[in-house]
Amino acid sequence: MVNVIGLGYIGLPTALMMASHGVEVIGTDYNKELVATLNAGRTTFKEDGLDELFQDAVKAGIKFTTEYQVTDTYIVSVPTPYDKFSKKVDACYVVAAVKEVLKVCPKGATVVIESTVSPGTIEKYVRPVIEEHGFTIGEDLNLVHAPERIIPGNMVYELLHNNRTIGADDKAVGEKVKALYASFCQGEIVVTDIKTAEMTKVVENTFRAVNIAFANELAKICRHDNMDVYEIIKICNMHPRVNILQPGPGVGGHCISVDPWFLVGDYPSLTKVIWDAMKVNDSMPDFVLNRIYEIMKEKGMTDISRVGLYGLTYKENVDDMRESPTLQLLESQERHLAAGLKVYDPFIEKDVVKNQYHSLDEFLDAVDLVVIMVKHNEIKENMGKLAGKVVLDCHNICDLPGVYHI
Ligand SMILES: NC(=O)c1ccc[n+]([C@@H]2O[C@H](COP(=O)([O-])OP(=O)(O)OC[C@H]3O[C@@H](n4cnc5c(N)ncnc54)[C@H](O)[C@@H]3O)[C@@H](O)[C@H]2O)c1
């Protein structure tokens, strides 16, 4: 039986996927409300295909609880934020979860850390906890790292199809855990050592962050000298060895805006490109705010409360707002004493910020300048409703005449 610890954006779909592929699974989360919701037959976030997967897993017998289980395999999928000051990974959730596992796990169990951690984190923070408990790693307990790569919005498909990495001290243990993931994963599963697995996950997200920063920097250069960044990227990408990403209003979420900092925190004198890239991405919400002021000036608009931000989440068609560019921009405008921007997101039903609307039509009635911060399908399908508005399109999805870009 597998005990999945942490039933958030990653742990829940992983637990459901395993359960619906014949693995006996019990999911544990210390959040009582979350466990009660799951036990009442409801999922805890919106994601394509998640409800169907949930039904399959429930039929297959998955259970949800706040208690850690006595079993032979644990998968730990708890948060790994970064320390805003040192930029290093904050492993406290992982360490706390492993300590709880140690209270119940029998000798011979395998503990798989799925949470994203920087290279050396398991060595530095997790191994000592196990050794202090009196267990010899490799004899009394096996330690494995299996980082997750799925993207919110396409999690169910990617869980099935992505390639995976398993890091283990011992090849045979790695192969055993590989077989567990192969119960549902159709991608290739590479077995390597723990530190290499830790590093690959962080490097993958850093690669994305640096390349997004390059596109964002191009957008700034082009804005400065009145060139069309989208046309330029389109032409450059016709080169057989060039593949530039698209610029945007900033980067959010739990991965690309966080994980590269782990490398900066651990290797401060070796990470100039990564540091600068993160700063460029972090500067984008302010860049958008300046564009708003410029456009208002050009249009003779003086009332910031007639400006509306479309989208609160960090990416399209998900309900995850963590570190989102819109939240960053709203913080900035508070600092600039320009509070008053209106906000709407079809995926956010609760009131989370000031001046938030819950209907697209009411939101559009209340504003003259619409800033497309997130390219949800809803706005793509309702582009006609923006006719007559001033539009700042941060994703180049609106083909109405006179649209402004970042
Ligand atoms: N969200 C993503 O897109 C994504 C993608 C790939 C990897 N990751 C990584 O996966 C890990 C988990 O991220 P997430 O987005 O699922 O986080 P999350 O915040 O959505 O979920 C974590 C869950 O763990 C629970 N939890 C925390 N400590 C616990 C403990 N000691 N015992 C029991 N439950 C506990 C919390 O209540 C929460 O429900 C992180 O390391 C993250 O970097 C996330």
* Three-class DSSP labels, 133-163: CCCCECCCEEEEECCCCCCCCCHHHHHHHCC
* 140 in any annotated domain: yes
Pull the structure tokens for residue 170: 């011992």
User: Is any atom of ligand 1 closer than 6 Å to the C-beta of 79?
Assistant: yes
User: Is any atom of ligand 1 closer than 6 Å to the C-beta of 96?
Assistant: yes
Query: Closest residue (by CA) to atom 18 of ligand 1?
Result: 8
* 348 in any annotated domain: yes
* 222 in any annotated domain: no
User: Is any atom of ligand 1 closer than 6 Å to the C-beta of 77?
Assistant: yes
Per residue in 242-301, pLDDT (tens digit) is 999 999 999 999 899 999 999 999 999 999 999 999 999 999 999 999 999 999 999 999
| Residue 45 shares a structural domain with residue 112 | yes
Q: Provide the pLDDT for residue 338.
A: 59
Q: Provide the pLDDT for residue 334.
A: 75
User: Is any atom of ligand 1 closer than 6 Å to the C-beta of 162?
Assistant: no
- For residue 112, the CA-to-ligand 1 centroid distance in Å is 14
Q: How far is CA 201 from the centre of its chain?
A: 13
Q: In terms of DSSP bridges, do strands 141-145 and 164-168 run parallel, antiparallel, or are they unpaired?
A: antiparallel
Alpha-carbon gap, residue 39 to 281, rounded angstroms = 40
Alpha-carbon gap, residue 156 to 303, rounded angstroms = 44
* 245 in any annotated domain: yes
Task: Give the number of the atom of ligand 1 that is nearest the alpha carbon of residue 320.
Answer: 1
pTM: 0.94
**C-alpha triplet 254, 255, 256: angle, nearest 5°:** 125
* 269 in any annotated domain: yes
Q: For residue 373, what are the CA distances in angstroms to 93, 131, 145, 329?
A: 31, 48, 35, 10
Which residues of the chain register pLDDT less than 50? none
For residue 2, give the DSSP letter: E
User: For the chain, first and last CA: distance in Å?
Assistant: 51
User: Is any atom of ligand 1 closer than 6 Å to the C-beta of 152?
Assistant: yes
Name residue 398's amino acid. C
Widest CA span in the chain: 73
**264: helix, strand or coil:** helix
Q: Provide the pLDDT for residue 311.
A: 98
Pull the structure tokens for residue 384: 């006609």
| Residue 42 shares a structural domain with residue 132 | yes
Helix 272-299 and helix 259-266, axial crossing angle in degrees, nearest 10: 130
Strand order in the sheet with 63-65: 63-65, 25-28, 2-5, 73-76, 109-113, 141-145, 164-168, 189-192
**85: helix, strand or coil:** coil
Which one is catalytic: 105, 185, 222, 255?
255
Question: What are the start-end ranges of the E strands in 95-157?
Answer: 109-113, 141-145
- For residue 6, the CA-to-ligand 1 centroid distance in Å is 6
Question: What are the start-end ranges of the E strands in 130-232?
Answer: 141-145, 164-168, 189-192
- For residue 114, the CA-to-ligand 1 centroid distance in Å is 9
User: Is any atom of ligand 1 closer than 6 Å to the C-beta of 9?
Assistant: yes
Last residue of a domain, one of 194, 217, 244: 194
- For residue 147, the CA-to-ligand 1 centroid distance in Å is 12
User: Is any atom of ligand 1 closer than 6 Å to the C-beta of 313?
Assistant: no
| Residue 167 shares a structural domain with residue 46 | yes
Pull the structure tokens for residue 9: 């954006």
Task: Give the number of the atom of ligand 1 that is nearest the alpha carbon of residue 151.
Answer: 3
How confident is the prediction for the chain on average, in pLDDT? 96
Whether 255 is catalytic? yes
At 392, give phi and psi (nearest 5°). -105, 110
| Residue 128 shares a structural domain with residue 262 | no
Alpha-carbon gap, residue 168 to 88, rounded angstroms = 23
| Residue 127 shares a structural domain with residue 259 | no
- For residue 115, the CA-to-ligand 1 centroid distance in Å is 7
Domain of 172 in residue numbering reads as 2-194
Which one is catalytic: 63, 178, 201, 375?
201
Alpha-carbon gap, residue 360 to 347, rounded angstroms = 11
**How many domains does the chain divide into?**
2
| Residue 21 shares a structural domain with residue 81 | yes
Q: How many residues does the chain have?
A: 406
Whether 201 is catalytic? yes
- For residue 321, the CA-to-ligand 1 centroid distance in Å is 14
Alpha-carbon gap, residue 221 to 300, rounded angstroms = 25
Query: Closest residue (by CA) to atom 27 of ligand 1?
Result: 78
For residue 134, give the DSSP letter: T
* 215 in any annotated domain: no
Q: Provide the pLDDT for residue 84.
A: 87
Pull the structure tokens for residue 357: 């609307």
Q: Provide the pLDDT for residue 337.
A: 57
Per residue in 367-405, pLDDT (tens digit) is 999 999 999 999 999 999 999 999 999 999 999 999 999
